[in-house]
A and B are shown apart, each in its own frame.
Chain A
Amino acid sequence: MNNRLRVLRAERQWSQADLATKLDVSRQAVNAIETGKHDPSLPLAFRIARLFQLRIEEIFDDGFQHD
């Protein structure tokens, strides 16, 4: 699943470790989400969305195209 996490993080000048601390996960988890190797659970996706004050679909993109 594609996501804008790295861009959003860079805009705030946060390192992966900074974001990991804010989300209470490991730096490896942040890296895995950013590189698309790990899709976050729904609770973690909500935490990410709340942190950036965005909706989940504004951060994550599953590639689905509406008609």
Chain B
Amino acid sequence: MMVSNMTDDQIDPPAMSLGTLAMRMFGATVAAVFFSGAAAGLIGALGKEEQVKPIGWVIMGVFAALTLAAFWFAWVSARRYYRENGPLTPRARRATISAIAASGIGLVMGMWMSVAGDVHSQPFDVAAGPLQPSVAAALIAVIVLVIAPITWFWHRNIDEHEEQSYRTGALIALYFYSAVAPIWWLGHRGGFLPAVDGMAIYLATMAVWGVVWFRQRHL
């Protein structure tokens, strides 16, 4: 029998974990939001002045550069993660691309919903504020016609470990929902809890599902 002289690090070189990538992405997102917000605020303030001082342009340029640096950091981190954890099989690549596509579309939908729901005469409420019927119909159409097929495609391409992680998460999330929804409903009927917020329960259920999936899949 052939015996390998390679060390563990040579056979399995240390690779960036998904947790590290998630932390880096979170940091890059926070930095991008902060610096782009600062740049936007500065542009608004400078726009009120007749003549902008050179130092104003310099500070604005620094904020813009820091925003781009945050995006660059996210891009470099993602490339390093896939270089060190790859190569992806064609099947895994298809599943990853479809998951990224669905996440990107979800992000755009969330931003669109936030902008469309931000009515000046009313307090900002991204979860339950009114939406224009056309916007709501368009978002529903995207869910049915775009997100659903992508989800089906993703399920066709994940491996059995991912599927089991997903199912375990779904089962625990179902138990969570089955407990929280009636408890809240009974508490409201008993007069010591506010009215049941279906969207809050939905989001909490999704969060439980996601956390369990992540733990099963990556930890």
Residues of A within 8 A of B (CB): 9-17, 20-21, 24-29, 32-33, 38, 40-41, 44
Contact present for B12 and A26 (CB under 8 Å):
no
Looking at B26-34, B155-163, B172-180, the stretch in contact with chain A turns out to be B155-163
Residues of B within 8 A of A (CB): 1-4, 6, 11-13, 85-92, 159-162, 164, 217-218
Contact present for A38 and B11 (CB under 8 Å):
no
Contact present for B86 and A26 (CB under 8 Å):
no
How far, in angstroms, from A40 to B164 measured CA to CA in the complex?
10
Contact present for A15 and B89 (CB under 8 Å):
no
How far, in angstroms, from A29 to B6 measured CA to CA in the complex?
23
Q: Hey, which chain A residues are within 8 Å of B85, CB to CB?
A: 17, 27
Most A-side CB within 10 Å, residue of B1, B85, B89, B90: B89
CB distance from B217 to the nearest CB of A (A): 6
Contact present for A25 and B161 (CB under 8 Å):
yes
Contact present for B160 and A21 (CB under 8 Å):
no
**In the complex, the 3 A-B pairs of residues with the closest C-beta atoms, listed nearest first:** A29-B161, A25-B159, A26-B92
Q: Hey, which chain A residues are within 8 Å of B4, CB to CB?
A: 10-13
CB distance from A11 to the nearest CB of B (A): 5
Contact present for A9 and B89 (CB under 8 Å):
no
Q: Hey, which chain B residues are within 8 Å of A11, CB to CB?
A: 1-4
Q: Hey, which chain B residues are within 8 Å of A12, CB to CB?
A: 2, 4
Q: Which of A14, A21, A27, A38 contacts B164 (CB 8 A)?
A: A38
CB distance from A53 to the nearest CB of B (A): 12
